[in-house]
């Protein structure tokens, strides 16, 4: 396990992230995705030590730097809630946005472009008619048709992602 300055000797990624959430006074309930009984036991153990406003200024700064690094690697702040599934053309919106985020995250367009080709042609970004039904249901208030046009430039028309203003 790695050692982080100002933290316990053992580093558990889940505990690291949960500590940040539990640090906030206005968090009253936390749902943590767990895939094994061992993770349930670990999270309960971590919760026993959770406290409000327990992080030092140095620790808070570390979380903020991590958050910035993460956000800098996101092209589209789509949460994949799929409320946009009301699309009359059944465009694979969240899947397409995920591909674009993968391009930005890894600064490479080859693999996401390859996997984009597995999206049926009639559900690809270039099939968006711009009806804007998706905008009204998007919790992130994304201009989905405009973003799909940019995705289409990259994936359908093979334009280099560095040349597209995302």
Give me the number of domains the chain comprises.
2
Distance, in Å, from the CA atom of 97 to the CA atom of 122, rounded to the nearest integer, reads: 16
Does residue 76 belong to any structural domain of this protein? no
Sign of the dihedral defined by the CA atoms of residues 34, 39, 44, 45, in that order? negative
Question: Do 41 and 110 reside in the same domain of the chain?
Answer: no
Question: Do 25 and 88 reside in the same domain of the chain?
Answer: no
Does residue 109 belong to any structural domain of this protein? yes
Question: Do 98 and 147 reside in the same domain of the chain?
Answer: yes
For 82-99, how does the pLDDT look when each residue is reduced to its tens digit (9 = 90+)? 999 999 999 999 999 999
Question: Do 61 and 93 reside in the same domain of the chain?
Answer: no
For 47-84, how does the pLDDT look when each residue is reduced to its tens digit (9 = 90+)? 888 889 989 999 999 999 999 999 999 999 999 999 99
**Entry pTM:** 0.76
Domain that holds residue 20: 13-71
Question: Do 90 and 64 reside in the same domain of the chain?
Answer: no
């Amino acid at each position: 396990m790695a050692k982080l300055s100002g933290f316990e000797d053992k580093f558990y990624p889940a505990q690291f992230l949960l500590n940040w959430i539990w640090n906030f006074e206005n968090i009253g309930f936390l749902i943590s995705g767990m895939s094994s009984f061992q993770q349930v036991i670990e999270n309960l153990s971590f919760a026993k030590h959770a406290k409000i406003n327990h992080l030092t200024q140095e620790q808070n700064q570390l979380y903020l730097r991590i958050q910035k690094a993460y956000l800098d690697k996101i092209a589209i702040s789509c949460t994949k809630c799929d409320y946009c599934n009301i699309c009359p053309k059944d465009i694979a919106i969240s899947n397409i946005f995920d591909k674009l985020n993968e391009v930005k995250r890894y600064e490479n367009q080859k693999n996401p472009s390859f996997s984009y080709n597995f999206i049926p042609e009639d559900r690809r970004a270039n099939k968006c008619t711009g009806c804007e039904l998706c905008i009204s249901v998007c919790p992130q208030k994304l201009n989905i048709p405009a973003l799909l046009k940019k995705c289409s430039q990259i994936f359908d028309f093979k334009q280099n992602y560095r040349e597209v203003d995302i």
